[in-house]
Homo-oligomer: A and B are copies of this chain.
């Protein structure tokens, strides 16, 4: 059915990696010529065969799946909850795949530039880990008489705190830095950012899109205010229902 002229079967290579069989091609294996596999399959390093004639590599057979994927595509997409990142880096080091090994080093969100440069060449989808907190001081919108039945959540400002580079990456143009302007310091934290809008679920959605999850939250009400302290124009019901809710987000 399919004609077999274009490629030669001799280009197919069968591997026995620690007992797990893989099949691939010379082209794939030599894509990084100076890597261990590149040297082996350009004839620079001798390699023994097993009893079935497969090239034998004395390394973990399971993780080789990702090594091979990286060679095929020159980029790597890891499973979303990949649990063997450190193990894979050790394999990448053995195979002398430096770009891959470097890309598997856990990132720190020090500066946006550094982040970009360590991500781009390989296309690894991993991002710098860290915590970010959102908080809001809220109450409810009451009707004129203080007892009307329509009372929605009312919040004036969404507070953002955390590492500056993370906050910028997540919220971009919607982040208001006017109260804590950049003075050229890198790797700094702030608790003085807020958002330009007041939809907290929109902020949550942006955190989600950036790979963060909500892991905890805490709420607290306020102490009462004496009747003499009530400023003109303040609604006493709104005052009573004041609360501060704080949400903890993390990216692993």
Asked if A131 is an interface residue, CB under 8 A from chain B, the answer is: yes
- Of the candidate stretches A95-103, A114-122, A144-152, the one touching chain B is A144-152
- The 30 listed contacts between A and B (C-beta, < 8 Å) are A1-B41, A2-B41, A3-B43, A4-B49, A12-B50, A14-B51, A28-B58, A62-B65, A80-B83, A80-B86, A86-B125, A129-B205, A131-B201, A131-B208, A150-B179, A152-B159, A161-B201, A191-B199, A191-B200, A208-B252, A213-B215, A216-B247, A221-B222, A223-B240, A224-B224, A224-B225, A229-B236, A241-B242, A241-B244, A247-B248
Say yes or no: B43 contacts A214, CB within 8 Å: no
Query: In the complex, A82→B87 CA distance in Å?
Result: 12
- Copies of this protein, total: 5
Known contacts A51-B14, A240-B225; is A217 also within 8 Å of B46 by CB? no
Asked if A40 is an interface residue, CB under 8 A from chain B, the answer is: yes
Query: In the complex, A65→B87 CA distance in Å?
Result: 12
Q: A150-194 vs B: 1/0 string, CB under 8 Å?
A: 111101110101110000000000000001000000000101101
Query: In the complex, A76→B235 CA distance in Å?
Result: 55
Known contacts A90-B73, A218-B217, A219-B246; is A231 also within 8 Å of B147 by CB? yes
Which A residues fall within an 8 A CB radius of B?
1-9, 11-12, 14-16, 18-26, 28, 40-43, 45-51, 55-56, 58-62, 65, 68-69, 72-73, 77-87, 90, 125, 129-133, 135, 137, 140, 146-147, 149-153, 155-157, 159, 161-163, 179, 189, 191-192, 194, 199-202, 204-205, 208-209, 213-229, 231, 236, 239-248, 250, 252
Most B CB contacts (10 A, CB to CB) among A2, A11, A135, A247 go to A2
Residues of B within 8 A of A149 (CB): 156-157
- Least Cβ–Cβ distance between A164 and chain B, in angstroms: 10
Residues of B within 8 A of A162 (CB): 201
Checking B49, B192, B201, B246 against A9 with a beta-carbon cut-off of 8 angstroms, the contacting residue is B49
Say yes or no: A218 contacts B218, CB within 8 Å: yes
Known contacts A3-B46, A189-B202; is A225 also within 8 Å of B219 by CB? no
Residues of B within 8 A of A147 (CB): 231
Say yes or no: B68 contacts A77, CB within 8 Å: no
Query: In the complex, A25→B68 CA distance in Å?
Result: 22
Say yes or no: B163 contacts A189, CB within 8 Å: no
Residues of B within 8 A of A22 (CB): 18-19, 61
